[in-house]
Chains A and B, each alone.
Chain A
Amino acid sequence: MKIIVNGEEQEHNIPLTVTSLLQGLDLRTEQVAVEVNLTILNRSDFPTWNLQEGDKVEILNFIGGGSSPPRHNRGGNRYESSSFA
């Protein structure tokens, strides 16, 4: 079956639980959040949640962050403002 994981189309055998998807990606379940078709899963559901054809899966974790980067511009500062001495 085809599912979309973090925006990338992937082919998987069925059945496929969230836990086995994460294991296949070498991800530790205690460090990620998983959203399937906009529903956020409880970690306790990972082992029993069977993914279905066409599911949109988002896997997220924590990265370094202080405050907002501009929306369309992760990485650099689009607005190079003048410096004040």
Chain B
Amino acid sequence: MSHHPLHDPFIIAGREFRSRLLVGTGKYKNFEETRHAIEASGADVVTVAVRRVNITDKNSENLLDYIDPKKYTILPNTAGCYTVEDAVRYARLARAAGVSDLVKLEVIGDERTLFPDTAGLIEAAKILIAEGFIVLPYTNDDPIVAKKLVDIGCPAVMPLAAPIGSGLGIRNPYNLKIIMETVKVPVIVDAGVGTASDAALAMEYGADAVLMNTAIAGAKDPIMMATAMRYAVDAGRLAFKAGRIPRKLYATASSSIEGML
């Protein structure tokens, strides 16, 4: 029995998702735009940050009134955390504010690049996994670190394509490929995607999913870009599964010469 080619569920820690595009909810003009862009992206998993409630403005709106947690899997992050202690604290607060044990763990090492502090990341992941968290770590494109994260119990790894928000696309495809071949868990390429071809390329390399925020939210038309990213991720995934032809230096005719005059 054959399935529709797009029936290709993406599974993390026993949870099944239809879409292989995960999206962030930051940097949009307003919650209305956020909602439309997320709908257009087709994503099932959306990332959110945990911050102090604005207690002085009682009319301030709540993101979750726009992004229905019954419809989407809310993935809280520890964005903005530069120490193990902060990341662990924010993860615990996220769990207290939400409904699940999922956390996108970020321990940031440097303000200018926002590259992960991978030593801190491993340490924080160990603490949180021991507390029952499902830790999805935002990591560098380092195969050794990815392997260590899996060994301590992360059910997926999320190596960056390029610095967060840079739009530079995949800077180190070979390392990403090595990570995909090294670890037996899903690899989600996270951060650095600039446009649809970057997302398609990540999927063609064999990534299980792509996570992005700025590439969509920062586009001139975020909703149109969300749609483009949805197609790009699907196209890249299909191309990966279909198996591309090898690259050759010279031409190979695709029309037979037999029967020519």
A contact residues vs B (CB 8 Å cutoff): 5-8, 25-28, 31-35, 40-43, 58-72, 74, 77-79, 81, 84
Distance of A71 Cα from B81 Cα, bound (Å): 8
> Nearest Cβ distance between residue A21 and chain B, in whole angstroms?
10
Given A64-B27, A65-B25, decide whether A79 and B76 contact each other with a Cβ distance below 8 A. no
Given A25-B55, A65-B48, A68-B164, decide whether A33 and B94 contact each other with a Cβ distance below 8 A. yes
Partner of B164, one of A42, A43, A67: A67
| Chain A hits for B77, CB < 8 A | 65-67
Stretch among B12-20, B104-112, B237-245 lining the A interface:
B104-112
Asked if B92 lies at the interface with its beta carbon under 8 angstroms from chain A, I say yes
Classify chain B's interface size: 35 or more
A66 touches B213 (CB 8 A): yes
B112 touches A62 (CB 8 A): no
User: What are 5 A-B pairs with beta-carbon distances under 8 A?
Assistant: A64-B63, A68-B106, A68-B114, A69-B80, A72-B111
Given A8-B55, A60-B53, A62-B74, decide whether A69 and B98 contact each other with a Cβ distance below 8 A. no
Partner of B97, one of A6, A32, A64, A70: A32
Distance of A68 Cα from B114 Cα, bound (Å): 7
Please indicate which of the listed interface residues B27, B55, B56, B62 has the most CB atoms of chain A within 10 Å of its own CB: B55
Partner of B93, one of A5, A6, A33, A70: A33
Asked if B168 lies at the interface with its beta carbon under 8 angstroms from chain A, I say yes
Given A60-B50, A62-B49, A63-B63, decide whether A71 and B93 contact each other with a Cβ distance below 8 A. no
| Chain A hits for B62, CB < 8 A | 28, 31, 61-62
Partner of A67, one of B24, B52, B93, B168: B24
> Nearest Cβ distance between residue A33 and chain B, in whole angstroms?
4
B contact residues vs A (CB 8 Å cutoff): 23-28, 31, 34, 47-53, 55-56, 58, 62-64, 74, 76-77, 79-82, 92-94, 96-98, 106, 108, 111-112, 114, 138, 164-166, 168, 190-191, 212-214, 217
| Chain B hits for A32, CB < 8 A | 53, 97
| Chain B hits for A66, CB < 8 A | 23-27, 47, 77, 79, 164, 212-214, 217
Distance of A68 Cα from B214 Cα, bound (Å): 11
| Chain B hits for A64, CB < 8 A | 24-28, 31, 34, 48-49, 63
B93 touches A40 (CB 8 A): yes
Distance of A8 Cα from B94 Cα, bound (Å): 22
Partner of B92, one of A40, A67, A68: A40
> Nearest Cβ distance between residue A19 and chain B, in whole angstroms?
15
Distance of A67 Cα from B166 Cα, bound (Å): 12
Distance of A42 Cα from B92 Cα, bound (Å): 11
Given A33-B50, A61-B50, decide whether A67 and B97 contact each other with a Cβ distance below 8 A. no
B55 touches A5 (CB 8 A): yes
